[in-house]
C-alpha cells in the first residue's frame, strides 16, 4: 500500500465540524428557503445605502489586492475611538481575531477560561490550537464574573473570554462591574472582551478604552449594527505591543478590498447606525410582546436579539425550535444546560417578526403535544 501524508496528532484528535450549522445548510436539507431569517444575529435592516454605493464603486477594483495594512480603516477607527492607529488590529470579523488571539496567547495545553454555553467559535479555536478549555456555568442568565476570575486564578489561565453584552443570553454587565472583573484577573491572563453588540447596548455598558493595559483585548465588529456580517470585518483594540503581535500571525490580505471600503463608509454614516439602533430596540420590544402574548418570558437584552425562556426544559425548547424551523422560521437556541430552556430570536424587519408571531403558537402547541 502506498503511503500518504498524515494529519498532525492534534488535527487527528479533532472532529470535522463547524461551530454553527448555517441557515443555508438547513435550507438545503429542507429543500426550501426560510421565510424568516431570525436566528443568526445578523442585521436584517441591511447596510446603509451609502455603504452599498461604496461597495459598488469598489467592485470595479476587485482585480487589485487589498491594502494589507488596512491603513485607511485603522486611521478612521482611531479617529472615531480616540486612540492611536497602532492600538488597532483589523481582521476577518471577531471570529478571525479570536483565532489569532488564541494562537498568540494560548500555548498547547494552556488553560483558557470561558463560560459554559458562551460563544462556541472561541471554543473551536481553543481546541484547534490545542489549548485546554475551562468552563464556568452561567449564574442567573449572566456570565459569572466572580467565577471566571476565580477560575483564571486557579488554573493560571493564559486567556479568559467574556462577551459583554452576552451571546447567547443577551444580558449584560455595566462598565463598573466589568472594570472590577478586569482588576480581579491575574496580570498575566489576557482578557478577550468581546463587544460585538456594543452599539446596541445601553449607555454605561462599555468601559472607557484603556490602551495602556497589556492584558485586555477589546473586540468589535461591523457584522451586527452596521449590517456587514457577510463581508467579515472586525477589529481588536489594545496595548500597542500586544496589537503589534497580530502582524506575526494574521492573514495580511484577509480583509478584502470591498470589506475595507464598506467598513469605511459604514463608519462615516453614523446617522444610519442610529436608525438601525432604533429599529433594533423596537424589534426587541416586539419580540418581548410576542413572547408575553404566548405566556413566555423574554430576558432583558442589550443585543440585536432576544432570548425567550420557554418555561420548561431543554428538550421542550428544542421541539419549539424544530417546529419553527419546519414552519420556515429560522431561530436558534442555546445548548448548554440551564440555558437550553430558551430560544433566541433576532430583531429583524417587522414582516419577518410577524411571521414569527403567527407561527409561534403552533410551534408551542406542537412541542407540548410531542
Q: Which tens digit of pLDDT belongs to each residue from 307-318?
A: 999 999 999 999
In this structure, the answer to whether residues 264 and 130 fall within a common structural domain is yes
Closest CA to 123 of 14, 251, 7, 244: 14
End-of-domain residue from the set 230, 252, 268: 268
Alpha helices in the chain (DSSP H): 9-13, 23-30, 49-59, 71-81, 93-105, 120-128, 145-155, 175-184, 240-244, 257-268, 270-293, 314-326, 350-369
In this structure, the answer to whether residues 231 and 146 fall within a common structural domain is yes
In this structure, the answer to whether residues 142 and 161 fall within a common structural domain is yes
In this structure, the answer to whether residues 129 and 182 fall within a common structural domain is yes
CATH number at residue 247: 3.40.640.10
Q: For residues 294-305, give the mean pLDDT.
A: 98
Domain that holds residue 288: 20-46+271-369
Q: How many domains does the chain have?
A: 2
In this structure, the answer to whether residues 236 and 321 fall within a common structural domain is no
End-of-domain residue from the set 236, 268, 300: 268
pLDDT digits (tens, 9 = 90+) for 48-65: 999 999 999 999 999 999
- Is residue 1 one of the residues assigned to a domain? no
CATH number at residue 361: 3.90.1150.10
DSSP type of residue 204: T
This prediction has a pTM of 0.96
In this structure, the answer to whether residues 203 and 234 fall within a common structural domain is yes
In this structure, the answer to whether residues 248 and 346 fall within a common structural domain is no
- Is residue 282 one of the residues assigned to a domain? yes
pLDDT digits (tens, 9 = 90+) for 155-173: 999 999 999 999 999 999 9
Question: What is the DSSP code string of 238-250?
Answer: --HHHHHGGGGTS
In this structure, the answer to whether residues 207 and 64 fall within a common structural domain is yes
Amino acid at each position: 500500500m502506498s503511503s500518504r501524508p498524515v494529519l498532525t496528532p492534534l488535527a487527528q484528535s479533532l472532529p470535522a465540524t463547524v461551530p454553527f450549522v448555517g441557515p443555508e445548510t438547513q435550507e438545503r436539507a429542507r429543500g426550501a428557503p426560510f421565510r424568516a431569517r431570525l436566528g443568526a444575529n445578523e442585521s436584517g435592516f441591511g447596510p446603509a445605502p451609502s455603504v452599498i454605493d461604496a461597495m459598488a464603486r469598489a467592485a470595479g477594483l476587485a482585480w487589485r489586492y487589498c491594502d494589507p495594512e488596512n491603513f485607511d480603516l485603522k486611521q478612521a477607527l482611531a479617529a472615531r475611538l480616540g486612540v492611536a492607529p497602532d492600538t488597532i488590529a483589523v481582521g476577518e470579523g471577531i471570529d478571525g481575531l479570536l483565532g489569532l488571539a488564541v494562537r498568540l496567547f494560548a500555548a498547547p495545553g494552556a488553560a483558557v477560561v470561558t463560560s459554559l454555553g458562551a460563544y462556541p467559535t472561541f471554543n473551536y479555536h481553543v481546541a484547534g490550537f490545542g489549548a485546554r478549555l475551562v468552563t464556568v456555568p452561567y449564574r442567573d442568565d449572566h456570565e459569572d464574573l466572580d467565577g471566571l476570575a476565580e477560575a483564571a486564578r486557579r488554573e493560571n489561565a493564559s486567556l479568559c473570554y467574556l462577551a459583554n453584552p452576552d451571546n447567547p443570553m443577551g444580558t449584560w454587565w455595566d462598565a463598573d462591574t466589568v472594570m472590577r472583573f478586569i482588576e480581579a484577573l491575574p496580570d498575566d491572563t489576557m482578557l478577550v472582551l468581546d463587544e460585538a453588540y456594543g452599539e446596541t447596548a445601553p449607555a454605561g455598558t462599555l468601559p472607557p478604552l484603556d490602551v495602556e493595559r497589556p492584558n485586555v483585548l477589546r473586540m468589535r465588529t461591523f457584522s451586527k449594527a452596521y449590517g456587514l456580517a457577510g463581508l467579515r470585518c472586525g477589529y481588536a483594540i489594545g496595548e500597542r505591543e500586544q496589537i503589534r503581535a497580530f502582524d506575526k500571525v494574521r492573514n495580511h490580505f484577509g480583509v478584502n478590498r470591498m470589506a475595507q471600503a464598506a467598513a469605511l463608509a459604514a463608519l462615516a454614516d453614523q446617522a444610519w447606525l442610529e436608525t438601525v439602533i432604533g429599529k433594533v430596540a423596537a424589534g426587541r420590544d416586539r419580540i418581548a410582546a410576542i413572547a408575553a402574548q404566548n405566556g413566555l418570558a423574554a430576558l432583558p437584552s442589550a443585543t440585536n436579539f432576544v432570548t425567550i425562556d420557554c418555561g420548561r426544559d431543554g428538550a421542550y425548547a428544542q421541539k419549539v425550535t424544530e417546529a419553527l424551523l419546519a414552519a420556515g422560521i429560522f431561530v436558534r437556541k442555546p445548548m448548554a444546560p440551564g440555558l437550553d430552556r430558551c430560544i433566541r430570536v433576532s430583531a429583524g424587519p417587522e414582516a419577518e417578526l410577524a411571521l414569527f408571531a403567527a407561527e409561534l403558537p403552533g410551534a408551542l402547541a406542537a412541542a407540548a403535544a410531542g
